[in-house]
Amino acid sequence: MVVRRLFRDSAHLVRPALVLVACMALFLVVRSAIIPKAFGQYGHYRPGALDLVRQHPIAFAGQDTCVMCHDDQATVRAAGKHAHVACEACHGPLAQHADDPAAHVPKLPDVADLCRRCHEKDAAKPRNFPQVATAEHSSGMACNTCHQPHNPHL
Amino acid sequence: MDISRRDIFTVGGKLLILASVGATLKQITGAEPPSDAYRLADHWWGMIIDIDKCIGCGNCVRACSKENNVPEGFFRTWVERYQIEDQIKEVKQPRVESPNGAIDGFPPLAPIDGKSFYVPKLCNHCADSPCVQVCPVGATFVSPDGVVLVDQTYCLGCRYCVQACPYGCRYLHPETQTVDKCTLCYHRITKGLTTACCENCPTGARLLVDFKNPKDPVHEILRTNKVQVLKPYMATGAKVYYENLDGAVR
């Protein structure tokens, strides 16, 4: 028979073929053991990485959270030019305060440094943005002597 | 025992059918339901930055640093100040500075003979990102909602992606020795918050946008404003759009 003669002529190839098959099987077993199950679900990466990144803790609670309790300050601010400046832009990250207000009491920001960051006169700033040369403008007085930070208009 | 060609084809055919049925069943039953309300397929994140609103206060840099525990001396976002002098007499290179990434803002600038402005920069979250293409181990990728992220458990720290990024947005974290970058505050935007930099921008120069949300203001802004991305000739599919961007910005 043709098949039998073919087999007899190529008998010396059987053992290397078995070794090859064994190696391929070993490769497949190891591969399936070390590659995470869901790898490639969305692309050439581990989808679990998305959850890993999402687990990072939040530091800035966000505008809406602040206003839930501090609606009085929010009302004052809404009437002035700082209406669209978020609370934490000046007061710093306060997610911990939002979680437990008693345990994390925020400090008041340092007005001398704070106002200048935005309002110091600078040629690179947009022309319509209110700027002052603080040294000439207030002669060393703190900004909040005259301006109320939540609604700075005099 | 004789094996005929007919036998091979019958057995082979049956095996093929069995295998395909098995694969189909796995396809149908294998997909797990999402764990919460956030659906990856419903979002395609990006950002719009209006140069004419940026005052160079550095609030975004400080906020990013605090939100993401960015190591000192490294930046996921930073602000540059461009000074372009009048070029009538001679052609000059623009002067670009970013002292310590502008984490403490900028020293005041006296008026110059020309124009000057601030440019906030961050990862452009490219749709066809060069950094993703060069990663040899699948550690960096574009997520289904359009954010370029790094799998910290897979990254080898080979720095191919640091070199590939045309915008210089990646760095090697000095402690973990893996590559770190802007995540577009993925832990915030997937929970309904905006990014730390957008939250803390006092003038609204930065705006997080979702291109897949038909009610997002991005569609109106792109329709009615002159916008540009950085290095458009690199064809990276950058999703951080700039309004009022000067041609000198690289």
- Cα–Cα–Cα angle for B145, B146, B152, rounded to 5 degrees: 95
CA distances from B65 to A59, A99, B199 (A): 10, 21, 13
Which amino acid is present at A71? D
In angstroms, rounded to a whole number, what is the distance separating the alpha carbons of residues A116 and A111? Answer: 8
Considering only CB atoms, B202 lies closest to which of A62, A89, A133, namely A89
DSSP 8-state assignment for residue B76: S
* Burial (CB count <10 Å: 0-12, 13-18, 19+), residue B234: middle
Q: By 3-state DSSP, what share of chain B in percent is helix, strand and coil, each rounded to 5?
A: 30, 20, 50
User: How close B222 gets to chain A, by Cα (Å)?
Assistant: 22
Q: Tell me: the pLDDT tens digits for A88-125?
A: 999 999 999 999 999 999 999 988 889 999 999 999 99
Cβ pair B242, B229 in contact under 8 A? yes
In angstroms, rounded to a whole number, what is the distance separating the alpha carbons of residues B65 and B24? Answer: 47
In angstroms, rounded to a whole number, what is the distance separating the alpha carbons of residues B241 and B206? Answer: 10
Residues in chain A with CB shorter than 8 Å from the CB of B116 are 123-124
Residues ≥6 apart with Cβ < 8 Å to B144: A42, A43, B40, B41
Q: Do B196 and A1 touch (CB under 8 A)?
A: no
Residues in chain A with CB shorter than 8 Å from the CB of B68 are 56
In angstroms, rounded to a whole number, what is the distance separating the alpha carbons of residues B238 and B47? Answer: 10
**Residues in chain B, pLDDT under 50:** 31-34
CATH of B43-127+181-243, one of 3.40.605.10, 3.30.70.20, 3.30.70.100, 3.30.830.10: 3.30.70.20
Q: What is the pLDDT of residue B1?
A: 61
Is the CB of residue A99 less than 8 Å away from at least one CB of chain B? no
Q: What is the pLDDT of residue B122?
A: 97
B46 strand-pairing partners: B209
Q: What is the pLDDT of residue B21?
A: 75
Q: Tell me: the pLDDT tens digits for B29-86?
A: 554 444 568 999 999 999 999 999 999 999 999 999 999 999 999 999 999 999 998 8
Q: What is the pLDDT of residue B35?
A: 53
Q: Do A125 and B55 touch (CB under 8 A)?
A: yes
DSSP string for B122-172 = E----TT-HHHHH-SSS-EEE-TTS-EEE-TTT-----HHHHH-TT---EE
Q: Is the torsion defined by CA of A76, A82, A84, A86 positive or negative?
A: negative
Q: What is the pLDDT of residue B34?
A: 46
ipTM score of the complex?
A: 0.84
Considering only CB atoms, B66 lies closest to which of A93, A117, A124, namely A93
**Residues in chain A, pLDDT under 70:** none
CA neighbours closer than 13 Å in the CB half-sphere of residue B114: 19
Q: What are phi and psi of B158, to 5 degrees?
A: -80, -15
Q: Do A123 and B110 touch (CB under 8 A)?
A: yes
Domain segments of chain B: what residues?
A: 43-127+181-243
Average confidence score pLDDT of chain B: 91
The residue of A41, A56, A65, A77 whose CB has the most chain B CBs within 10 angstroms, and thus the best one to mutate to test that interface, is: A56
